[in-house]
Every structure is written in structure tokens, then in C-alpha cells.
């Protein structure tokens, strides 16, 4: 039987999953992103500086990442290296955004797949008293994710869609008054991460089978997170294919379009392979390969939140007070800006001609994870769903658990395809 | 009162901003408003989510919040919000149906109010403002990119308490959008004294390097953002007019003219 799950809720954007289920086992799965704006096209002809603010509007839950990738692409174009203090401030802004997301994603999006919070949605394996404990932290998480955006706002001016990250550095000059509040927020967030870990271990204890569910193919890729400030590095760029580590080579990254498929999501492939990206990828590249799984992804996200909170605390000690740096000298040429972010590897590339944007291309983390089948090879999420046992086909919560473990963001995922650096038009996605 | 928060073609940043609300808090509002449908926040998924959507509409008397612009290309097929009775439901169809029985209709964010970035040239998805696809309906417009969660939360609280909301001629609440950013800007004295910033990051008035505060109506200078003291001009960057009708169809940063 065919199960159409639309909308997949508790994610950002619009995702449809179509699963073929035989004898309660998922035998085939398709991912379909069902929104499209053609974001790259609206950047053509714009002033290069505008790209840093405009590309943030791709995504309401991970906007600061786009500002970093975009400014890096412009800086690459002008062969400009931003100063250390600006890199630290950018990473603090990005770090607060990651914490906002990881807290929100874990409690608001993933937790309700495993425990019943407000209503009895499925037969939970977690004892009721522990469900109540997690439910309390679920409510508290609203405050802490809000607080993380407040931390971002102290340095970034506003969240979502910050103003401080610009071509050549950052505009903000952190003063000692603002610094004092940022320190408190970082500390509070770090304390809350401890509760997240405890709650994660409750889920792990009662749903341990999810370490054997949701294997994406276990090939991993990262563009590096905070690797421009080595002492606060979360993960360096790299690739794990068939368990073997190799250095990242951007020339091996290609993207493909679909003339007879049904999704607005394009298919990035590295050496023709679909790659999983995100916290689990970063964890494996840094600490060694493990098989990809639904719980593995959630565990990596929760652990990463704690590392990031610790790093923010330490990075704040390094920020120069009342200092900023920006630049006006953008040069014509081509540039690439990459960073790992909340959901994985993010790529921006730009071509500037006569001080105007001539081409712009974006590959997002969710495009990697949610990419559709190409050349007979399934995308990572599709592959992760195949083989899942579904107890009640009228309430396939097992599928949702794995989908949420990838933290999909479809506002980000749907983009135009470029071939040899030239954008193809949207007709390369054909809608059913 | 029931509430449907419908995300359409956009970045879903307005619901994130709303979750950030502290004036009053999201938690506080949730005890007074029953959010029956929200792609980002609701537990049910698939058919059960769509059941909740149509049940709320059938009961009537709810608040409809729409964030994002409405894609009209290919009969709305560039933006599908769900699957119901063996067919895909486009955002275009969903807003038309949901606006019929709503007690209040709110456009949250600039895309829903005016088209915004989702409808920016060349607008490949042929996205439009909500008011263009459901003409003749009264819509409260809450522009901003995104709209601050605090502004949204205060509006919702006032609506459920039965307070009158006075609107300007294009539908914005006057208590929030009655003044320009320039009116209450913390850098107004720099403007009066002709101290103009020459580049972003400087201290001074940003008027000569792209700031559109004088033509932008929004309460940012006194509500600030994210419950703290900061807002874009407070971090040495210009107001980019993200709550304006023509955002972002102009150059945000201007070269130094001083």
C-alpha cells in the first residue's frame, strides 16, 4: 500500500513523504519538497552586499548560517580574509542560532515522537512519571530557545535575520554592558543542555532499537564548523565514504536536476554518492565512523548543543570590546563560501560583474539529506526510511521519528539547479 | 478561541519569531488561544493534520494567521500545504477556504502583507500578497521580515480580549505602525547634528548609507528585538525597511555619499 504523509509537521517548510508499505515494512520511500521560490534568481542584478541580508530570508530557523556562507562567498571573490575578532563574533552569533534550533528541534519537534506530552498520541514506552519530567522541560525549552535568540540579538541586532554579519566582518561593537548579559545567557543555556542530555538518555533507554533504524547509507560530509577559530573548532571539513576519511574536495560536488520526478529539491552528490550531513556527520568526521541511525542523529544533536554552549562561553572571553571591522571594497570575480551549520553543509557561490551579482548558487544541508532518487540511487532520508517496521499503518509514527531525526528544513532545501555554473530554470523540476 | 497559523511560500521565520514572543509569552498565549493547525508546531501530521485544519474551518469563528506569500503559478502548485481526500491542497486553495469562516484574518510578515521577498523580481513562483488572492476581506497587516513575535503576541492578546484595534488605511495596527523608525530612532540626535556614518559599522546617522528609517513604519526603536536592548541600528547597521511595501526591491546598502 502507498502511504502519503503530507504535511510532515514539526519541521520548517513543506515536506511530503510517499511510502510503499508491504506487510508493515517500508519497501520504498520518496521525499518531496513542495514549495518553490527560485531564490537565486532574485539575487541577480543586486548589489553584492545585499546578498548577505537577502539570503538569510531563505530560512527562518537557520538564517545566520546563510549570512556567514554568503559573506564568505563575497570575501572569497575579493580575496579578503576577515579579522579574528569578526570571526569570533560571527561564530558566537551562529552558535546562539544553533542552540536555538537544537533546543527547539529536540523538545518541540522530536520529543513528541517518543513521549506523549499533552495528549495520548500513541502507545508510549516511557513510564508516565518520566514523561511528566520531560514534559516540564518541554515547557522550559520554549524559554531557553527564546533566550538563545536573545543572545544572538545582543550581537546580531535581531533574530531571525541578523544585521551584524556583513561583507568584510561584523558591524556590532560589543560593549561591556551587553557583554554582561551575553555571559549570563551563555551560562544559562549551558545549564539547560544538561537537562537535554538527561532527557535524551531517557528516550535512548526506552527506544534503543532506533540505533538500528534509519541508516542513510552512512556516508558523511562536513564543510567544517567554527574551524576558522581553531581553539573553538566543532568540526573540520572532511568526508567519510565507506568508513574511510578523506579531505573535502569541492570539485567532487555536483548537483543534479529531475526531469521526471516530483520534488522541488535538487540532488547534490559527492563523487556521485548521496551524503548525510548534520550533527551526526560532524561527530563521525571528528570522532570516528559509526553507522547512521535515528537515535544516533538525535544523540549527536544533543551532545553538540552542549559543546556549542561551552564554546560560546569561552568565545565570549575572547571578544574584543568595542571593536568591529567592515569593508567596502568588493571586487568583481567568482567566490565560494561554505560552512557547516545546524543541519549540515551549506554552500554559496557567487559571480560578480560590474559590482552586481551575475550568478548565485546555493546548496543547503537539507538538499543533501532530503535529496530525491537520482540515477536509481536513493537520497539519504529516503534510504533511511526503507526497512522500517510500522505497527499501525494508519498512524506511522515510526516514519516520523526518522524524518525528524534529520531535522528537515524545506524552506532551505528547494533551490534552482546549476550546471557548469549556470542556473537552470525551474522547469527542471516537474511537478506531478 | 481557535487559531490556524498557515505557512505559505516563505521562510517560516514568522512562526519562529512568534515562538520567541515575550510580550506576552508564547506559553501564556497558548493557554488562551487554541492553535489547531500550524505546520511548525502541531503534533498531528498527514491526514490528521488536514482533518484539524478543515474541522477548525467548519466550526468557524477562528483567527487565521497567514505567513508567506501565495504562489499563483501553475494554479498554486508551486506551494502545496498537504494532502487530503486523495488530492494535494495548494496554499492558494487553502487560504481561500480558510478565509471564509474566519473571525479575524492576519497577515504575518512582509511576504503575506505585500509579497515581500517571496514575490521579489523576477518572481518565478508568481507569488502574491494575501490581500491580492482574497480581495474584499478585512485583513490586519503585520509587516516585518519577520514580524516581531512580540508585536504578533500583543495583537493576538488584544483581539481575544475583545479590544478594538485601530488600523491605518492599508490595514496596519496604528499602535504598532503609527510612526516611522526615524521618529523614535536612538540616533536621531546624530541626524539633527549632521553627524552621518560613512560606512556600516560606524556610529552616526545611517541616512546617507542606505537607511530607510524615515520612510519605514515600524515600532523597532522602542520595542527593540528579542526582549533585550538591541535592534538593527543598535548594532551599527541601517534600517533596511523590511516592513515596507516595496521591500526588498531596492538596494539595501548605498555607497558612501558623504
Task: Give the model confidence (pLDDT) of A392-401 as tens digits.
Answer: 999 999 999 9
Of B45, B79, B233, the CB nearest to A14: B79
Least confident segment among A31-45, A261-275, B177-191, B216-230: A261-275
Do residues B184 and B170 both lie within one domain?
no
Query: Of A406, A399, A295, which Cα lies nearest the Cα of A24?
Result: A399
d(CA A408, CA B127): 24
The answer to which of A36-45, A235-244, A316-325, B166-175 has the lowest mean pLDDT is A36-45
Cβ atoms of A35 and B78 within 8 Å: the answer is yes
Q: What pLDDT, on a 0 to 100 scale, did the predictor assign at position A258?
A: 66
Read off the pLDDT of residues A193-205 as tens digits, 9 standing for 90 and up. 999 999 999 999 9
A193 three-class SS = helix
Question: Within this chain, do residues B35 and B59 fall inside the same structural domain, yes or no?
Answer: yes
Total domains in chain A come to: 1
Question: What is the nearest CA distance from A20 to chain B, expressed in angstroms?
Answer: 15
Those residues whose C-beta lies under 8 Å from the C-beta of residue B186, and which sit 6 or more positions away, are B221, B233, B234
What confidence score (pLDDT) does residue A44 get?
95
- DSSP H or E segment with residue A64: helix A63-77
Pairing outcome for strands A267-270 and A253-256: antiparallel
Looking at the structure, do residues B134 and B233 belong to the same domain, yes or no?
no
The answer to whether position A427 is within a domain reads no
Residue tagged 474566519 (cell numbers): B102
Above 80 in pLDDT, residue A295? Answer: yes
| CATH number of the domain enclosing A276 | 1.10.645.10
Band (A256; pLDDT cuts 50, 70, 90):
confident
**Considering its fold, how many domains does chain B have in total?**
2
Q: What number is the average pLDDT over the span A252-268?
A: 76
* Higher-pLDDT residue of A425, A427: A425
Q: In terms of CA atoms, which chain A residue is nearest residue B120?
A: A42
Query: Are residue B8 and residue B52 in the same domain, yes or no?
Result: yes
3 state SS for A100-126: HHHHHHHHHHHHHHCCCCCCCCCCCCC
Evaluate whether residue A423 is within a structural domain: no
Same domain? B33 vs B157: yes
Q: What is the mean pLDDT of residues A50-54?
A: 97
Domain final residue, candidates B131, B156, B175: B175
Residue A424 lies in a domain: no
Q: CB of B109 within 8 A of CB of B147?
A: yes
Range of the domain at A17: 2-412
Nearest-angstrom CA–CA distance, A182 and A351: 37
Q: Give the pairing type, strands A344-353 and A356-363.
A: antiparallel
Cell representation of residue A403? 524524518
The average confidence (pLDDT) of chain B is 96
CB contact under 8 A, A12 and B12: yes
Characterize B63-90 residue by residue with b for buried, 16 or more Cβ atoms within 10 angstroms of its Cβ, and e for exposed.
bbbbbbbbbbbeebbbbbbbbbeeebbb
β-partners of residue A241 are: A244
pLDDT in tens, B150-160: 999 999 999 99
Binding residues of A: 40, 59, 62, 362, 409, 412, 415
A431 pLDDT band, cuts 50/70/90, is very low
* A349 contacts A337 by C-beta, under 8 angstroms: yes
B206 or A259: which leads in pLDDT: B206
The single-letter DSSP state of residue A198 is H
Domain boundary among B133, B156, B175: B175
Pairing of strands A220-222, A238-241: antiparallel
CB B235, CB A156: distance < 8 Å: yes
pLDDT band at B257 (very low <50, low <70, confident <90, very high): very low
Which of A116, A163, A174 to probe the B interface (max B CBs under 10 A)?
A163
Nearest CA in chain A to B7: A13
Instruction: Report d(CA B115, CA B66) in Å as an integer.
Output: 12
**A49/B26 Cβ within 8 A:** no
Q: Percent of chain B at pLDDT above 90?
A: 94
Q: Do A149 and B39 touch (CB under 8 A)?
A: no
Nearest to A361 by CA among A337, A331, A332, A330: A337
Q: Does residue B251 sit in the same domain as residue B196? A: yes
ipTM of the complex: 0.97
Q: What is the CATH number of the domain that holds B43?
A: 3.40.50.700
All three cell numbers of A284:
563521525
Asked if A40 and A415 count as a contact pair (C-beta separation under 8 A), the reply is yes
Domain membership of residue A431 (yes or no) is no
Q: Give residue B227's domain range.
A: 179-257
Place of cell 539529506: A369
Do residues B163 and B187 both lie within one domain? no
pLDDT band at B258, cuts 50/70/90? Answer: very low
Q: How far is CA B124 from the centre of its chain?
A: 21
Read off the C-alpha cell for A172: 556590532
In a domain, A418, yes or no: no
Predicted local confidence at residue A430, as pLDDT: 44
Q: Are the beta carbons of B91 and B80 closer than 8 angstroms?
A: yes
Residue A387 — pLDDT band, cuts 50, 70, 90? very high
Statement to judge: residues B187 and B221 lie in one domain: yes
Cell numbers given for B217:
513604519
Closest CA to A296 of A238, A212, A236: A212
Q: Please compute the mean of the pLDDT values over residues A407-429 and round it to a whole number.
A: 72
A122-135 per-position pLDDT tens digit: 999 999 999 999 99
* pLDDT score, position A119: 87
If asked whether residues B151 and B185 sit together in one domain, one would say no
Provide the mean pLDDT of chain A: 94
pLDDT(A415) > 90? no
Please report, for residues A340, A379, A383, the alpha-carbon distance to residue A241 in angstroms, rounded to integers and kept in the order given.
Answer: 18, 15, 16
pLDDT at A432: 35
Each residue of A45-67: b (16+ CB within 10 Å) or e? ebbbbbbbbbbbbbbbbbbbbbb
- Note whether A9 contacts B38, CB cutoff 8 Å: yes
Q: What angle do CA A385, A391, A394 make, to 5 degrees?
A: 90
Same domain, B169 and B183: no
**Does residue B14 sit in the same domain as residue B139?**
yes
Task: Decide if pLDDT at A152 tops 90.
Answer: yes
d(CA A264, CA A13): 12
Among the partner residues A9, A60, A157, nearest to B232 by beta-carbon distance: A157
Residue A125 lies in a domain: yes
- What is the number of other CB atoms lying within 10 angstroms of the CB of residue B28? 14
Task: Indicate if the pLDDT at residue A261 is higher than 90.
Answer: no
Q: Choose the final residue of a domain: B153, B175, B197.
A: B175
> Would you state the pLDDT for residue A21?
98
Q: Are residues B170 and B199 in the same domain?
A: no
Amino acid at each position: 500500500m502507498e502511504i502519503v504523509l503530507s504535511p510532515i509537521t514539526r519541521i520548517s517548510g513543506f515536506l511530503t513523504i510517499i511510502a510503499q508499505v508491504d506487510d508493515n515494512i517500508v519497501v520504498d520511500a520518496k521525499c518531496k519538497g513542495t514549495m518553490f521560490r527560485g531564490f537565486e534568481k532574485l539575487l541577480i542584478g543586486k548589489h553584492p552586499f545585499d546578498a548577505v541580508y537577502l539570503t538569510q530570508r531563505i530560512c527562518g530557523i537557520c538564517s545566520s548560517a546563510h549570512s556567514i556562507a554568503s559573506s564568505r562567498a563575497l570575501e572569497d571573490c575579493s580575496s579578503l580574509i576577515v579579522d579574528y575578532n569578526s570571526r569570533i563574533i560571527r561564530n558566537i552569533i551562529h552558535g546562539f542560532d544553533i542552540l536555538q534550533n537544537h533546543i527547539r528541534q529536540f523538545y518541540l519537534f522530536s520529543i513528541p515522537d517518543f513521549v506523549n506530552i499533552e495528549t495520548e498520541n500513541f502507545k508510549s514506552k516511557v513510564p508516565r512519571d518520566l514523561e511528566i519530567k520531560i514534559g516540564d522541560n518541554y515547557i522550559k525549552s520554549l524559554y531557553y530557545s527564546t533566550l538563545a535568540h536573545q543572545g544572538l540579538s545582543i550581537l546580531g541586532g535581531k533574530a531571525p535575520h541578523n544585521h551584524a554579519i556583513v561583507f568584510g566582518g561584523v558591524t556590532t561593537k560589543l560593549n561591556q554592558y551587553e557583554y554582561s548579559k551575553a555571559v549570563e545567557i551563555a551560562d544559562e543555556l549551558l545549564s539547560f543542555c544538561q537537562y537535554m542530555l538527561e532527557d535524551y538518555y531517557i528516550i535512548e533507554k526506552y527506544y534503543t532499537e532506533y540505533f538500528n533504524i534509519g541508516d542513510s547509507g552512512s556516508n558523511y560530509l562536513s564543510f567544517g564548523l567554527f574551524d576558522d577559530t581553531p581553539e573553538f573548532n566543532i568540526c573540520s571539513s572532511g568526508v567519510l565514504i565507506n568508513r574511510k576519511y578523506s579531505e573535502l574536495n569541492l570539485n567532487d560536488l555536483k548537483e543534479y536536476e529531475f526531469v521526471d520526478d516530483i520534488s522541488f529539491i535538487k540532488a547534490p552528490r559527492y563523487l556521485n554518492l548521496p551524503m548525510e550531513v548534520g550533527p551526526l556527520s560532524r561527530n563521525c568526521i571528528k570522532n570516528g565512523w559509526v553507522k547512521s541511525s535515528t537515535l544516533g542523529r538525535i544523540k549527536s544533536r544533543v551532545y553538540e548543543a552542549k559543546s556549542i554552549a561551552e564554546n560560546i562561553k569561552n568565545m565570549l572571553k575572547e571578544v574584543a570590546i568595542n571593536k568591529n571591522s567592515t569593508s567596502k571594497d568588493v571586487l568583481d570575480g567568482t567566490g565560494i563560501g561554505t560552512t557547516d551549520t545546524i543541519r549540515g553543509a551549506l554552500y554559496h557561490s557567487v559571480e560578480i560583474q560590474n559590482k552586481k551579482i551575475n550568478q548565485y548558487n546555493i546548496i543547503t544541508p537539507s538538499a543533501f539529506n532530503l535529496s530525491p532518487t537520482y540515477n536509481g540511487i536513493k537520497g539519504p532520508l529516503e534510504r533511511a526510511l526503507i526497512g522500517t517496521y510500522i505497527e499501525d499503518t494508519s498512524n506511522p509514527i515510526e516514519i516520523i521519528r526518522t524524518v525528524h531525526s534529520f531535522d528537515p528544513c524545506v524552506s532551505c532545501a528547494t533551490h534552482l539547479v546549476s550546471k557548469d555554473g549556470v542556473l537552470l530554470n525551474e522547469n527542471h523540476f516537474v511537478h506531478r | 478561541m481557535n487559531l490556524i497559523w498557515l505557512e505559505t511560500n516563505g521562510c517560516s521565520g514568522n512562526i519562529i519569531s512568534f515562538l520567541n514572543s515575550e510580550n506576552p509569552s508564547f506559553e501564556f498565549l497558548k493557554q488562551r488561544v487554541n492553535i489547531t493547525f500550524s505546520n511548525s508546531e502541531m503534533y498531528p501530521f498527514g491526514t490528521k493534520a488536514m482533518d484539524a485544519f478543515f474541522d477548525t474551518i467548519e466550526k468557524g469563528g477562528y483567527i487565521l494567521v497567514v505567513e508567506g506569500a501565495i504562489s499563483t503559478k501553475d494554479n498554486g502548485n508551486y506551494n502545496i500545504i498537504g494532502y487530503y481526500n486523495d488530492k494535494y491542497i495548494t496554499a492558494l486553495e487553502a487560504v481561500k477556504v480558510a478565509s471564509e469562516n474566519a473571525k479575524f484574518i492576519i497577515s504575518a510578515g512582509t511576504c503575506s502583507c505585500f509579497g515581500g521577498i517571496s514575490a521579489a523580481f523576477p518572481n518565478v513562483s508568481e507569488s502574491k500578497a494575501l490581500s491580492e488572492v482574497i480581495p474584499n476581506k478585512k485583513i490586519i497587516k503585520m509587516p516585518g521580515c519577520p514580524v516581531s513575535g512580540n508585536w504578533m503576541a500583543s495583537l493576538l492578546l488584544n483581539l481575544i480580549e475583545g479590544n478594538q484595534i485601530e488600523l491605518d488605511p492599508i490595514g496596519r495596527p496604528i499602535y504598532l505602525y503609527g510612526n516611522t523608525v526615524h521618529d523614535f530612532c536612538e540616533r536621531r540626535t546624530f541626524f539633527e547634528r549632521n553627524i552621518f556614518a560613512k560606512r556600516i559599522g560606524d556610529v552616526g546617522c545611517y541616512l546617507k548609507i542606505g537607511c530607510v528609517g524615515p520612510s519605514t513604519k515600524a515600532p523597532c526603536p522602542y520595542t527593540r528585538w528579542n526582549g533585550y536592548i538591541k535592534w538593527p541600528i543598535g548594532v551599527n547597521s541601517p534600517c533596511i525597511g523590511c516592513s515596507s511595501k516595496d521591500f526588498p526591491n531596492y538596494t539595501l546598502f548605498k555607497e558612501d555619499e558623504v
